[in-house]
């Protein structure tokens, strides 16, 4: 059986964009749509069904 780990990192609104950019600068992953904001995560979940 294959196991897939899916998770998201969210931050307080005050630091979310800066934190997401800092992490993105040291990884190959980019989170341009999510931006580390809780409201964006909820929107993405709702849109994906």
Inter-residue long-range contacts of 10-19, CB under 8 Å, 24+ positions, other chains counted: 10/36, 10/37, 10/38, 10/41, 11/36, 11/37, 13/37, 13/38
Residue 2 in any domain: the answer is: no
Q: Chunked in runs of 10, what are the mean pLDDT values of the chain (49 residues)?
A: 83 89 76 74 85
The per-residue pLDDT for 29 is 66
- The domain of 31 spans 16-48
Distances from the Cα of 22 to the Cαs of 1, 5, 48, in angstroms? 35, 22, 27
Greatest CA separation found in the chain? 41
How confident is the model at residue 10, as a pLDDT?
85
The answer as to whether 26 is a domain residue is yes
Matching residue, tokens 């630091």: 15
pTM of the model: 0.56
């Amino acid at each position: 059986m294959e196991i897939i780990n899916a998770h998201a990192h969210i931050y307080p609104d005050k630091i979310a964009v800066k934190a997401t950019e800092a992490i993105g600068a040291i990884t190959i992953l980019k989170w341009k749509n999510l931006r580390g904001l809780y409201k964006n995560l909820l929107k993405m979940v709702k849109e994906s069904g």
